[in-house]
Amino acid sequence: MNFEFFTLKFLALILLVSSNANAGLITHNGYTLDEETNIVTKGNLEWLQWDATKGKSITEALGEYEQTGWELATNGDISNLYRDFGWNATSDDGSGAITDSPYTVDDTTFFDSFLELFGTTVFNDTAGYGSGVNALQGVFVYYGSDSDNDEKFKLASVHSDYDVNASRYGNRAVIYGDHASSSDKYESYGIALIRRVEVPEPSTLAIFALGMMGLVLRQFKKQS
């Protein structure tokens, strides 16, 4: 009887762990944000939310995060990310790709989903700008490799549609070419950091635990 009671408690604990493992998660287009860690994951690639490094230079961001495995996102990483959201990234050299989308009333586009995942480094609802979903909100990050040795790194940006001075502007995602040095920093810009790891599915732990419990139950029956 005590063993059966223990078994029920063990099953309840596993279900609770499995449920909690999915708490605080936001998922769009195959990317999942863990709001507790500020990490966006797809497969074995992790992205630190772009606004987590807001106001830092590339040098400062790497100095803070490099020791835990984070590195600067490459041109190809950003291009692949943009392609995943259906945006123009015709090459991996990080130069000049621009995607525009019309103004929408309810903010339900991939641009808005992207900002929910990666955060915002700029928000403006002051005089002249709209409020709520009609305010200016977007994210800007430095990234890339200095392959041409000109000490300049790339800039990526995404912003949702907004109102300003009675005019309406649509959604936009842009990949700029060489833009800033590793020491440049601006209050409304972040740094795109990635980490390549093996990320187990939360359900894997529950399946493993249930399997172990099955072995324990079978052993118990043999002994009784």
What pLDDT score does 151 carry? 83
What pLDDT score does 17 carry? 45
Please tell me whether residue 152 adopts helix, strand or coil conformation: coil
**Of the candidates 60, 85, 67, the residue with the CA atom closest to the CA atom of residue 172:** 85
What pLDDT score does 136 carry? 96
Residue with tokens 């309840």: 12
What pLDDT score does 219 carry? 56
Residue 196: φ, ψ to 5°:
-100, 110
Q: Where are the domains of the chain?
A: 16-223
What pLDDT score does 15 carry? 45
**Positions of the chain with pLDDT lower than 70, given as ranges:** 1-23, 199-224
Q: Please state whether 22 falls in left (phi above 0), alpha (psi between -120 and 50) or beta.
A: alpha
What pLDDT score does 12 carry? 46
Residue 51 carries which DSSP code?
G
> Which two three-digit tokens encode residue 183?
């020491």
